[in-house]
Amino acid sequence: MNDWGAADALAAVPELVDQTDRRPWQPVDLSAVLDGSWEPPEAAVGRRSDGVGLFYPGKSHTIASESEAGKTWLALSACIDELTAGRHVLYLDFEDDEGTLVRRLLALQIAPKVIAAQFHYLRPHEALGGGINHDDLRSVLSEFKPTLCVLDGVTEAMTLHGMDPLNNKDVAAFGRMLPRAIAEAGPAVVCLDHVVKSSENRGRYAMGGVHKLNGLDGAAFVLENRKPFGVGLTGVTSVRLAKDRPGQLRKHGLPGKEGLVWFADLRLTSHAEGFLEVEIAPPEARVNEPFRPTALMAEICRVLEEHGPLSAAKIEALVKGKATTIRQARLLLQVEKYVTDSTPHELLKPWGGESND
């Protein structure tokens, strides 16, 4: 880790985009807003399967989740949209290596020549600074004019620059130094981050300083895995909208839990080794499905696996929840042949259902 502070790191980095005519403390020209020619930003980078955009050009965004919930897959889905449209993508990877990432793109059926020509992968192991590293990044932005920049590993990137991800001053300084500075060059910037381990303390925030959310000028997404990803499986993750500063995305979602907007479902289908399909589906796909107490169904199966055959009364004593809902969950398990009809109820097969919203 470098031994400088956030202020020193920020002062050491010049602008990535020339601002020769900008005087920050002059009054802003309001004529475009007043004459009606100004238009609000539109999310035009990346796409849901119904065509609704994901990210705003020139704005900074975050995707936060636990490990293996699909952050990178969601970002790669947006990368694919831009690449197949003939545009360029910049990927700053502070966590992994090119082998893992490029193999994923190849498995998603992106041609090697497209990746070589339009996908610009950087794996920084030194702080940006104001010298050759800064010049190299500026050169990529000016030459290729990417429409999307993914910053993978916010905590690692901040640590590399001697900053503390738990400190709001450092979070704000890092945001100005890298994500916001890159966004000023035009691309939508998407930062991949982690959430705190405790779901009770998680809420709308990525791990670390609250300014990670408050300082965004784009959108913030929180992912929750409902069905795990794996070879030969179709994994499903809920994509929830935690913040939408420009306000153009919420209308395309549905009310979700904890005040978050249910914006999409990330579906990753693994047909075999080396062949994957990714889809960002709109939330309407499950709107009309009846409620299933799948969390309680999973808990009943766990209790039966741990304790062996049990009566209905003992199941209700061991499983936390409303008695009527526990009974509904048990009956569904009986109908679907997870649990025997006769009492004491016995587990017939391991639980393999998905979590309900």
The conformation of residue 221, written as its DSSP 8-state character, comes to E
Q: Are 127 and 9 in contact (CB under 8 A)?
A: yes
User: Is 350 a residue whose pLDDT tops 70?
Assistant: yes
State residue 309's pLDDT score: 93
CATH 3.40.50.300 in the chain, residue ranges = 6-14+40-285
Residue 135 has pLDDT above 80, yes or no: yes
Residue 123 DSSP class: -
pLDDT for position 81: 94
Distance CA 203, CA 260 (A): 9
The pLDDT, as a whole number, for residue 294 is 81
**Region of residue 145 (left: phi > 0; alpha: psi -120 to 50; beta: else):** left
CA pseudo-torsion sign 136, 142, 145, 150: positive
3-state secondary structure of 103: helix
Q: What is the pLDDT of residue 213?
A: 60
Distance CA 43, CA 190 (A): 13
pTM to 2 decimal places: 0.74
Give the per-residue SS3 of 130-195: CCHHHHHHHHHHHHHCCCEEEEECHHHHHHHCCCCCCCHHHHHHHHHHCHHHHHCCCCEEEEEEEC
Site of tokens 């048990």: 330
The alpha carbon of 13 is separated from its chain's Cα centroid by a whole number of angstroms, namely 28
Read off the pLDDT of residues 234-245 as tens digits, 9 standing for 90 and up. Answer: 899 999 999 999
Q: Torsions phi, psi of 148, nearest 5?
A: -140, 135
Q: Could you give the C-alpha distances from 80 to 104, 268, 278, in angstroms and in order?
A: 11, 14, 10
Pick the CATH number of 6-14+40-285 from 3.30.1490.20, 3.40.50.300, 3.40.630.30, 3.30.565.10: 3.40.50.300
What is d(CA 279, CA 129) in angstroms, rounded to the nearest whole number?
A: 38
Instruction: Work out whether the CA dihedral 320, 325, 331, 334 comes out positive or negative.
Output: negative
Q: What is the mean pLDDT of residues 91-119?
A: 94
The CATH 1.10.10 portion of the chain extends over: 290-357
Average per-residue pLDDT for the chain: 86
Give me the pLDDT at residue 197, please.
53
Q: What is the mean pLDDT of residues 169-194?
A: 92
- By C-alpha distance, which of 1, 357, 21, 11 is closest to 177? 11
Cα 247 to Cα 130: distance, rounded to the nearest angstrom: 35
Quick check: 50 pLDDT over 90?
Answer: no
123: pLDDT confidence band, cut at 50, 70 and 90?
Answer: very high
Nearest to 143 by CA among 122, 111, 120: 120
The mean per-residue pLDDT over the stretch 114-121 comes to 98
Determine the Cα–Cα distance for residues 297 and 291; give it in Å rounded to an integer.
12
Token pair listed for 225: 């895995």
Q: How far apart are CA 189 and CA 208, in angstroms?
A: 19
Of 239, 236, 9, 230, the residue nearest 127 (C-alpha): 9
Mean pLDDT of 271-296: 75
Model pLDDT, residue 290: 61
Half-sphere exposure of 214 (CA within 13 A, CB side): 8
Question: Does the pLDDT value for residue 274 go beyond 80?
Answer: no
Interhelix angle 323-335/294-307, rounded to 10 degrees, is 80
Per-residue pLDDT for 86 more than 70? yes
Concatenated DSSP letters of 16-81: SS--TT--TTSPPP-HHHHTT--------EEE-TTS-EEE-TT-EEEEEESTTSSHHHHHHHHHHH
Q: Which CATH class is domain 290-357?
A: mainly alpha
Which tokens in the block code for residue 49?
A: 């399967």
Query: Binning pLDDT at 50, 70 and 90, where does residue 111 land?
Result: very high
Residue 357 confidence (pLDDT) above 60: no
